[in-house]
Amino acid sequence: MGLEAAYFICAFVLLTALIYGTLSNHYRNRAAAQAGDEIVRQRYRENQG
């Protein structure tokens, strides 16, 4: 009985993490993502030159 409960709890935690990751990626702030991308591009250019 204990092993089945452990599997159920682990499956529930994994499912919750997958749902959270999917939703947070879907509803992310586009302005913040674009600003972060621009910072990465700028650092990449500085390291290349």
Q: What is the pLDDT of residues 10-39, one digit of tens each?
A: 999 999 999 999 998 878 788 888 898 999
Residue type, 36: G
User: Would you list the domain boundaries of the chain?
Assistant: 1-26
Q: Model confidence at 8, in pLDDT bands (50, 70, 90)?
A: very high
> Residue 5: what pLDDT?
95
Residue 9 has pLDDT above 80, yes or no: yes
The 10 Å Cβ neighbour count of residue 36 is 11
pLDDT of residue 28: 78
pLDDT beyond 70 at 49: no
SS3 for 6? helix
